[in-house]
Amino acid sequence: MEAFLHQVFSGLATGGIYASLALALVMIYQSTNHINFAQGEMAMFSTYLAWSMINGGMPYWWAFLLTVLVSFVVGAAIERIIIRPVEDAPVLSVVTVFIALLVIFNSVAGWIFTYTIKTFPSPFPEQPLFGNRYISSHELGSIAVTLLVLVALYLFFRFTPLGLAMRAAAQNPLSSRLAGIRVGSMLALGWGLAAAVGAVAGLLVAPIVYLEPNMMAGVLLYAFAAALVGGIDNPFGAVLGGFMVGVLENLIGAYVIGTELKLTVALVLIVGVLLFKPSGMFGKVFVSRV
């Protein structure tokens, strides 16, 4: 029982990280109908940035904050400079740009920081908190940070005029412009926020998977699975999907197929959802009359 609970809790911890990255994917998908395949690599690069700052002697939380801020700016800049020119291009061209971004971030990280695996510090104590036996401090801490980020995003989108304008711009760009909303700025802002959320996910997952240029490959797959399970156009679904995928992955890995095959869980989920319920649990079903 104790082992089972431990699996569930640590599943929730990684699930929260998948949820954050899935949310970043959904945020961009909602406003552009594109999946940013480079989301994971952008998060990985942010993590290296934080690693350099921490190695340079900066306290963890300052490095955390600064990294999130820089990621936001870089994310917005990528939208403005790289994505904007291909905005109206055919889907395949856009996908190519995303893949190019992925490869570029991956190679540049390898070039600057080498492919050697590095440890990444956790800001939380090594001893489990409150003397519990089920969950490590880092896991508990990352659940807390994830929830904080999710709640902050929810409040922002739900209750601020800017959040409302961003939702409006994603939903109906033409009508938004008629109301005086600068849709282009909203898109850049969305990319910035997605990159910032991704950076948080990268920083939280790095102590678990270790820091190396390919560290987000698996995480991104799980995040895809999470977003698809929840419904690619539904932020709440993506978050819930993230936690579900995290727990499922751990339980199936521990009791059914073993840790070596864990990643297949994500792939099976992706293929399964696409085959049997492409809209996911909470996604919008598109019906077209012919």
Partner 1 sequence: MALLEVTGLHAGYGAADVLRGVSFAVEQGGITAVLGANGAGKTTLLRAVSGMLGRRGSIRFDGQPIEKTATEDIARLGVAHVPDGRGTFLDLTTEENLRIGAYTRKDRTTVAQDLERVFTYFPRLKERRQQQAGTLSGGEQQMLAVSRALMLRPRLLLLDEPSFGLAPLVVQDIFGILRAINAEQGVSVLLVEQNAGLALDLADNAYVLETGQVVMSGTTEAVRSDEAVRRAYLGY
Options 90-98, 158-166, 239-247, 258-266: segment touching partner 1 (CB under 8 A): 158-166
The smaller minimum CB distance to partner 1, of residues 9 and 29, is found at: 29
Cβ at position 231, least distance to partner 1 in Å: 13
Cβ at position 238, least distance to partner 1 in Å: 16
* Contact predicate 44/109, CB 8 Å: yes
What is the x/- site pattern for partner 1, positions 170-189, by CB under 8 A? -xx-xxxxxxxxxx------
Total residues at interface with partner 1 (CB under 8 A): 17
* Contact predicate 222/11, CB 8 Å: no
The smaller minimum CB distance to partner 1, of residues 56 and 161, is found at: 161
Could you say which of 165, 195, 196, 273 contacts partner 1 (CB under 8 A)? 165
For partner 1, the binding residues in 42-101 under the rule CB under 8 A are: none
CA distances from 215 to 38, 127, 204 (A): 13, 25, 12
Instruction: Decide if residue 168 touches partner 1 (CB under 8 A).
Output: yes
The smaller minimum CB distance to partner 1, of residues 59 and 284, is found at: 284
Cβ at position 105, least distance to partner 1 in Å: 32
* Contact predicate 211/110, CB 8 Å: no
Q: Which residues contact partner 1 (rule: CB under 8 A)?
A: 161, 164-165, 167-168, 171-172, 174-183
